[in-house]
Structure 1
Amino acid sequence: MPAFSKNYVRSLQLKSFLIGRVRATFHDQSRGEGSLERSQDALFPPDSAIWRVHGDVMSMMIGGVASLFMQMLHPAVLAGVWDHSNFREDTLGRLRRTARFIAVTTYGQRDAAEASIARVRRIHDKISGTLPDGTAYRAVDPAALAWVHATESLCFLEAWLRYGDPAMPLAERDAYFVQAGRVGRALGADPVPETHAAARLYVEQQRPHLRADDRSREVARFLIERPASRPSLAPVQAMAFAAAIDLLPPWARDTHGFANPAITRPLVRASATGFAKTLRWAFA
């Protein structure tokens, strides 16, 4: 076989391997889940900013992990996970369900997206409890939902700007928050920032209400130290977590007690950038 043909076959095999690993990570094949068909009848049009941002696997992975670290600094959000989630036994399943929700509400048919939102609202309605200081909490609290929505949207966009399109125009960045805000409001979040600047300001304003404690440290340690679903994915998982910690605002890293040495940042960012490009090549 000519060298060109061999290289072509190898490239196809590599593409197939990467696509298979990503699909196995984000879709529960035991439940018949596969890649979601992008619908022309989605909540957002194909040329929308949210389609671009949510369509990049690596930046979504990095942004998703960063948003988890941000969200657990909110006492009520952390309590909901601690009291009502089986994250220790089903970490990958929880991440899959979150990824599936984002995919369905971004690309799925409108009725499927609305049904998915309604299902999450029903789940949230059953979640309530008491914080360690005796304060009552409910998952349907608009302020807690606002924190989850804003940090998730902001981390997704910041990861896209770092690893996808650093030159994304400001108008498109703001359009992303308007579009993502539709889902946030439908879930009951309030307030919902509708510009990049407003999202950053909102997060900054919430700092007095945030903290790290023994429970947040245990959850963060569990996520960071959890073995990869396959040994071959361990380097990618380690890289994604390092990039997610690097993506956090400095005050959030300090609150968690995460290290982010300046000497390692160029290597972390270069590695994540290279792998992001590889995944885009595989899925092109």
Structure 2
Amino acid sequence: MGALKVLRRELRRTLSATNGEVPQWALDLAEGKDEGFFAPGSAVWAVHGSVNTLVGGIRALLVQSLHPGALAGVDDFSMYRERPLVRLASTSRWIMTVTYGDTAAAHTACERILKLHERVRGTYTDARGATRSYYANDPDLLSWVHLAFVEAFLAAHTAYGKPIPGGQDQYVAEWAKAGELMQVPHPPRTRAELDEQLAAFRPELLHDAKVSEAVEFIRHPPLPRSQRLGYQILFAGAVNTLEPHYLDLLGLKKPSLGPFPLPVRSATRLVLAFVRLGLGRKPPSEISARRRIARVSQQNA
């Protein structure tokens, strides 16, 4: 039991940039005046309450880096190289708060991110070689980040998780609310719409030296030694879900031994099971949300 506590503390320290305890913001999700935008049994709870989000997060970072405007903003303003775990914790906090918080908490979390985006402005070279300006709250960039996120989490959960309640269309439709809160114009509400909007971005994607550098960092982040092997397997699991056009642009290949594919899915599921053992079956944010929902339901009865 002592070893399990140590494992849980180390994983929480990495994922939430804390001292290994449940972060206060997750406990605070038990407070609030309503049930929130998403409920137990929703597609969003099923996907975001799963450790498969670890694979989805890696995949999202890889794909998002292919848009030169999005990558320029991260490269110019983010301290992801110096403090990668802080950026990971910030992203995780946003996802969990929008997923499990009440509506006020979800609004506040999105407003905070949009406010931080206000200063993220600069220039980049596009896929045609032209110099263009970027702004993190530009509708196109907000759309790209949202689309890549949704596709990545769907791909990871489809490959390594249980069936999504209502299917992929349901998840896309539900998480469109997060897109609206983040001022994404016309977020997709079906898998077909998601694919259509992603296809429209393909001419803007490119591979250059900055992408290679980002991929290398995502492949080998500065993690504790005890977590590096597991992470490498999760990275391979994320790469294994990528479509050929993404693999080509990223300069990656699905793991294989010569012409023979490696058993990446089995290894990834094993690591995810180990992580689930360490973190527990339900994230602290979900436990807090269930307490709030039970209280609100009782008050409204």
Q: Same fold (TM over 0.5)?
A: yes
C-alpha separation between the residues in 2 aligned to 1:265 and 1:65? 20
What's the CA shift string for 1:227-266, capped at 9, x where partnerless? Answer: 32x1110111111111111111111011111122444744
The answer to whether the 8 A contact 1:27-1:35 is kept is: no
The answer to whether the 8 A contact 2:255-2:261 is kept is: yes
What's the CA shift string for 1:16-68, capped at 9, x where partnerless? Answer: 333223211222325982572465722211221101100112x1011111011
Q: What amino acid sits opposite 2:172 in the alignment?
A: F
SS at match of 1:174: helix
User: Which of 69, 72, 89 matches 1:76?
Assistant: 69
C-alpha separation between the residues in 2 aligned to 1:150 and 1:18? 33
User: Which of 113, 125, 128 matches 1:120?
Assistant: 113
How far apart are 1:181 and its partner, in Å?
1.0
Q: What amino acid sits opposite 2:136 in the alignment?
A: A
What's the CA shift string for 1:145-166, capped at 9, x where partnerless? Answer: 111001101111110111111x
Distance 1:212 1:280, change over 3 A: same
C-alpha separation between the residues in 2 aligned to 1:46 and 1:100? 19
Identify the residue that residue 9 of structure 1 maps to in structure 2.
none
TM-score (normalizing by structure 2): 0.82
C-alpha separation between the residues in 2 aligned to 1:266 and 1:200? 28
Q: What amino acid sits opposite 1:175 in the alignment?
A: Q
User: Which of 199, 220, 223 matches 2:194?
Assistant: 199
Cα root mean square deviation, aligned: 2.1
Residue identity (%): 30
C-alpha separation between the residues in 1 aligned to 2:155 and 2:218? 21
The answer to whether the 8 A contact 2:16-2:86 is kept is: no
The answer to whether the 8 A contact 1:77-1:144 is kept is: yes
C-alpha separation between the residues in 2 aligned to 1:152 and 1:130? 23
In structure 1, list runs of 5 or more residues that go unmatched. Answer: 1-11
User: Which of 88, 93, 97 matches 2:86?
Assistant: 93
Q: Does 1:108 align with 2:101?
A: yes
The answer to whether the 8 A contact 2:53-2:156 is kept is: yes
In structure 2, list runs of 5 or more residues that go unmatched. Answer: 282-301
How far apart are 1:123 and its partner, in Å?
1.0
User: Which of 172, 175, 187 matches 1:177?
Assistant: 172
TM-score (normalizing by structure 1): 0.87
Distance 1:117 1:168, change over 3 A: closer
Identify the residue that residue 66 of structure 1 maps to in structure 2.
59
Identify the residue that residue 276 of structure 1 maps to in structure 2.
272
Identify the residue that residue 297 of structure 2 maps to in structure 1.
none
Identify the residue that residue 18 of structure 1 maps to in structure 2.
7
C-alpha separation between the residues in 1 aligned to 2:167 and 2:11? 27
Report 1:169-248 matches (<5 A): 171-228=166-223, 230-248=224-242
The answer to whether the 8 A contact 2:47-2:164 is kept is: no
User: Which of 150, 157, 161 matches 2:158?
Assistant: 161
Identify the residue that residue 43 of structure 1 maps to in structure 2.
37
C-alpha separation between the residues in 1 aligned to 2:75 and 2:276? 35
C-alpha separation between the residues in 2 aligned to 1:15 and 1:198? 43
Distance 1:204 1:187, change over 3 A: same
SS at match of 2:263: helix
Distance 1:246 1:35, change over 3 A: farther
Q: Does 1:259 align with 2:253?
A: yes
SS at match of 2:36: coil
Q: Does 1:27 align with 2:16?
A: yes
C-alpha separation between the residues in 2 aligned to 1:84 and 1:281? 36
C-alpha separation between the residues in 2 aligned to 1:32 and 1:18? 13
C-alpha separation between the residues in 1 aligned to 2:48 and 2:7? 18
C-alpha separation between the residues in 2 aligned to 1:72 and 1:186? 23
Number of residue pairs matched?
Answer: 269
How far apart are 1:217 and its partner, in Å?
1.1
Which range moves more in the overlay, 261-270 or 103-112? 261-270
Structure with bigger RCO (C-alpha 8 Å, 6+ apart): 2
Q: What amino acid sits opposite 1:198 in the alignment?
A: E
The answer to whether the 8 A contact 1:27-1:34 is kept is: no
Distance 1:29 1:168, change over 3 A: closer
